[in-house]
Amino acid sequence: MSVLKIITIPDSRLKNKSLDVDKYDKELKQKIKDLYDTLYFSENGIGLAAPQVGIFERIVVIDLKEDSKSKPLTLINPKIINKSNEKFINQEGCLSIPGYYADVERSMEIEYEWFDENGNKQTAIAQGLLSICIQHEVDHLNGVLFIDYLSGLKKKMALDKVLKFNKKNKTSKNDD
């Protein structure tokens, strides 16, 4: 089991655009496994994008744990093909912005395509929480964070929260 270190703001690497995966090999499967280990180790994460752990490849793992049952969804090179005009507002958080939550407006429904870990292309429609989660994670692959949709003042509040959160964790856990 490998739990990887999650990069938090204001690390500029979170603004990197990630590259397409072109090899569906053992190494990719290991990265996916490490991403799930890291996601499940986090307290309340439902999705993690590879750039959040410093791997700048288009890999996303999601588990909404519906009815407290694990429901892993691995997306390689995901693309949102269609977005509904109907929007809704939901409170979002992010493992790279620990301790901060804010309302973000997203499309209610999306049509998306992706490759599974064996390189098979898939297409589906997502609604509600899954739709938000995919939009949030695909943004990460393009170097966009949910706080980028907020005002400058809220962005500053988010940064203050994270700096406080990281400081507290450093003193209590005594790690680097």
Reported as half-sphere exposure (CB side, CA atoms, 13 A), residue 71 has a value of: 8
Strand pairing of 102-107 and 87-92? antiparallel
* Minimum separation from the CB atom of position 45 to Zn ion (A): 8
* Minimum separation from the CB atom of position 108 to Zn ion (A): 20
137: annotated active-site residue: yes
Between residues 24 and 154, which has the closer beta carbon with respect to Zn ion? Answer: 154
The strand pairing partners of 60, in sequence order, are: 49, 75
Between residues 61 and 94, which has the closer beta carbon with respect to Zn ion? Answer: 94
DSSP-derived letter for residue 117 is T
Q: Which of 80, 97, 96 is nearest to 131 (CA)?
A: 80
Radius of gyration of the chain (CA): 16
User: How far from chain centre, in Å, is Cα 86?
Assistant: 23
Q: Looking at 43, 86, 111, 137, which residue is catalytic?
A: 137
* Minimum separation from the CB atom of position 163 to Zn ion (A): 18
Between residues 94 and 132, which has the closer beta carbon with respect to Zn ion? Answer: 94
Between residues 11 and 22, which has the closer beta carbon with respect to Zn ion? Answer: 11
Q: Which two tokens stand for residue 62?
A: 């999601």
* Minimum separation from the CB atom of position 140 to Zn ion (A): 6
Segment near Zn ion (CB under 5 A), from 9-17, 69-77, 91-99, 112-120?
91-99
Q: Which of 94, 102, 104, 162 binds Zn ion (CB under 5 A)?
A: 94
Closest residue to Zn ion, based on beta-carbon distance: 94
Segment near Zn ion (CB under 5 A), from 23-31, 83-91, 94-102, 125-133?
94-102
Q: Which of 71, 67, 79 is nearest to 137 (CA)?
A: 79
Segment near Zn ion (CB under 5 A), from 7-15, 27-35, 86-94, 153-161?
86-94
Label each residue of 55-71 as H, E or C.
CCECEEEEECCHHHCCC
Amino acid at 112: Y
Identify residues 123-152 at the interface with Zn ion (CB under 5 A).
Answer: none
CB atoms within 10 A of CB 74: 19
Instruction: Give the catalytic positions in this structure.
Output: 137
Interface ranges with Zn ion (CB under 5 A)? 94
